[in-house]
């Protein structure tokens, strides 16, 4: 494998670094805390507009849909991800990195023009209505239903673990529209406003101490039949298109490498009885093991990059990204928590809190992400069955008492 970049790409990297040196202070994460929520939203929208204008966000999305309209180039995309992570600057986005590519892949022209531009600009935010109380790992067994009444679908049911539903403008939601069809064939993928009458959002406080998830209840919620992505009854296919983008986004090797540098910094900075934690052989050994995993993740990403630059399907390397990335991020945070000892148990406003409690929050959130977007166990089944071609996991019939 040739890991050297051509002169063209090295120049691209240098131009990007110059841009970041001159503009990183405008990134939402760099402007400080003395702003209202509305002001911070404007800062985020302005940052996104600047990145699109310079071709560092929404790169390949056509200009008519609000993107930069550039040709696909996996190497440039990789350089952008690397450098934004290195600078610890919030990268640009493609709106919702799950919804936008799904609409571009499978939506109608009218839906693309309606949904994509405001989402890219940050003016339309989204949540995902997938999981239900009795349909988590077996998502296809979902029971939220919709029947047609005139020109509308009428939705009744419940979703759970819906991230950001209390703030989102819109939802993309799986509902059962053909109750008599096999469970994978009777689902439809609808998009609609969270302000639609009949929607009740109830926040759920997680172990991070924050209400990031929600329960969402639908009571006779009316949605125009035109607001379906794909065809009726083919929502399972559309949903898997969305999940493909979500899983890849949860295992970014550049973010893991950036986090590793942060771990090294805190181990070099913190001391116990006057000795740097980095000089403790037990913690140094754990760090080296995790460094090896980060490098393995990085080179797996390069395998994916090589395949895509050739127009090939990456196969197995793509399937392991989410499983590997989420577990590795949790282990990195766990190393810091352990190394800090009693300081690692602190929360909120203690004067001894390190990095404003970032590591405690990450440790709890990353544990949840091992479950979110498909549990580690489900990911292993997917890898075994779809990537390696192994037999499906046996299904055992229930025995009635």
Q: Which residues are catalytic?
A: 246
Residue pair 77/252 in contact (Cβ under 8 Å)? The answer is no
Cα 171 to Cα 129: distance, rounded to the nearest angstrom: 6
CA distance 277 to 256: 21
| The token pair that represents 187 in the structure block | 């689902």
DSSP state of 58: S
Distance between CA atoms of residues 372 and 247, nearest Å: 10
Q: How far apart are CA 82 and CA 146, in angstroms?
A: 44
Residue 150 neighbours by CB distance under 10 Å = 8
CA atoms within 13 A on the CB side of 158: 10
Q: What gap in Å lies between CA 159 and CA 179, rounded to an integer? A: 18
Pairing of strands 271-272, 275-276: antiparallel
Neighbours of 319 (CB within 10 A): 21
């Amino acid at each position: 494998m040739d890991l050297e970049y051509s002169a063209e790409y090295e120049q691209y990297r240098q131009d990007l670094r110059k841009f970041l040196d001159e503009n990183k202070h405008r990134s939402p994460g760099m402007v400080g805390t003395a702003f209202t929520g509305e002001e911070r939203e404007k800062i985020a929208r302005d940052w996104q507009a600047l990145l699109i204008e310079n071709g560092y966000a929404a790169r390949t999305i056509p200009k008519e849909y609000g993107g930069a309209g550039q040709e696909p180039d996996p190497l440039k995309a990789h350089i952008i991800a690397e450098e934004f992570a290195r600078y610890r600057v919030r990268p640009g986005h493609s709106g919702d990195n799950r919804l936008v590519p799904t609409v571009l892949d499978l939506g109608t022209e009218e839906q693309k023009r309606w949904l994509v531009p405001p989402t890219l600009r940050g003016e339309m935010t989204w949540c995902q209505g997938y999981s239900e109380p009795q349909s988590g790992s077996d998502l296809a067994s979902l029971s939220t239903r919709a029947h047609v009444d005139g020109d509308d679908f009428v939705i009744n049911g419940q979703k759970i673990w819906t991230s950001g539903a209390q703030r989102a403008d819109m939802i993309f939601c799986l509902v059962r529209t053909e109750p008599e069809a096999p469970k994978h064939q009777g689902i439809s993928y609808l998009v609609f406003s969270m302000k639609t009458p009949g929607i009740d959002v109830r926040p759920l406080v997680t172990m991070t101490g924050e209400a990031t998830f929600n329960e969402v209840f639908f009571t006779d919620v009316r949605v125009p039949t035109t607001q379906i992505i794909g065809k009726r009854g083919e929502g399972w296919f559309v949903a898997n298109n969305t999940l493909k983008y979500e899983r890849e986004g949860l295992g970014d090797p550049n973010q893991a490498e950036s986090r590793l540098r942060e771990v090294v910094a805190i181990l070099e900075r913190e001391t116990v009885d006057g000795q740097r934690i980095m000089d403790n052989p037990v913690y140094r050994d754990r760090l080296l093991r995790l460094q090896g995993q980060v490098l393995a993740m990085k080179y797996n990403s390069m395998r994916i990059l090589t395949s895509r630059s050739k127009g090939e399907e990456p196969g197995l390397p793509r399937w392991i990204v989410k499983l590997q990335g989420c577990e590795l991020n949790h282990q990195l945070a766990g190393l810091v928590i352990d190394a800090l000892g009693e300081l690692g148990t602190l929360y909120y406003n203690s004067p001894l809190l390190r990095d404003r409690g970032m590591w405690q929050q990450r440790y709890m959130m990353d544990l949840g992400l091992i479950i979110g977007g498909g549990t580690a166990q489900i990911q292993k089944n997917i890898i075994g069955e779809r990537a390696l071609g192994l037999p499906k996991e046996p299904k055992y019939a229930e025995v009635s008492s």
